[in-house]
């Protein structure tokens, strides 16, 4: 018989990771490029993406925490614990360490960053911080993808109808 707790925690993990990974890929591959292509200024596009990223980073941290906890309890897996912890750490680092610094650079500039000279230290700092944010999101996505694969590989496979939880035996 398949343990209902394993199936339930596996389903929760798969749904949470799939939803977050879908959102992360949508933001990175569609929303951000579309904002910069359609909005009249890069400053407006940056403001739009800047409003979306906190939701993405905080939910990524929460999903990573769920993955890590379930990786220690219901479906023990050190690799899943590590993947969840990496997801949580990178999302929190992006949101709590990098994002406030990016905002400080924008405020210090006093005008849109693309109006600054190419060699301006504020523009250079922004570029470095933006790159760090992109790398942190990328690492979180890779960790989330790894956690998803590891979870799917750990889920039990029913070989008969009688192996399925809550399946009436009369059928």
Note the pLDDT of residue 73.
84
- Considering the domain boundaries, does residue 146 fall inside one? yes
Is pLDDT at 46 greater than 60 in this prediction?
yes
- Considering the domain boundaries, does residue 86 fall inside one? yes
Task: Give the 3-state secondary structure of 144-158.
Answer: HHHHHHHHHHHCCCC
Greater pLDDT, 159 or 14: 14
The pTM (predicted TM-score) of the whole model is: 0.87
Note the pLDDT of residue 170.
57
- Considering the domain boundaries, does residue 81 fall inside one? yes
Q: 84: how many CB neighbours lie within 10 A of its CB?
A: 29
For residue 71, give the nearest of 81, 82, 86, 85 by alpha carbon.
81
Q: Which helix (H) or strand (E) holds 130?
A: helix 121-154
Q: Give the confidence band of 169 by pLDDT, cuts at 50, 70, 90.
A: low
- Considering the domain boundaries, does residue 159 fall inside one? no
* Residue ranges making up the domain that contains 95: 4-154
- Considering the domain boundaries, does residue 117 fall inside one? yes
- Considering the domain boundaries, does residue 144 fall inside one? yes
The average pLDDT across 67-73 equals 91
**Tokens at 68, concatenated:** 């890590």
Please give the tally of structural domains in the chain: 1
Note the pLDDT of residue 72.
87
The average pLDDT across 87-112 equals 96
- Considering the domain boundaries, does residue 160 fall inside one? no
CA 123, distance to chain mean position in Å, is: 26
- Considering the domain boundaries, does residue 32 fall inside one? yes
């Amino acid at each position: 018989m398949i343990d209902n707790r394993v199936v339930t925690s596996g389903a929760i993990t798969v749904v949470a990771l799939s939803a977050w990974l879908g959102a992360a890929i949508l933001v990175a591959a569609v929303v951000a490029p579309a904002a910069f292509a359609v909005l009249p200024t890069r400053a407006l596009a940056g403001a739009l993406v800047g409003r979306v990223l906190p939701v993405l980073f905080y939910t990524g941290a929460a999903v990573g925490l769920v993955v890590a906890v379930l990786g220690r309890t219901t479906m023990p897996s050190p690799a899943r614990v590590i993947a969840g912890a990496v997801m949580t750490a990178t999302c929190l680092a992006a949101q709590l360490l990098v994002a406030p610094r990016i905002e400080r650079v924008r405020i210090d500039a006093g005008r849109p960053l693309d109006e600054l000279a190419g060699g301006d230290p504020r523009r250079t700092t922004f570029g470095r911080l933006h790159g760090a944010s992109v790398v942190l999101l990328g690492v979180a996505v890779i960790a989330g993808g790894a956690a998803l694969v590891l979870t799917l590989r750990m889920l039990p496979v029913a070989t008969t109808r009688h192996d399925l939880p809550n399946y009436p035996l009369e059928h």
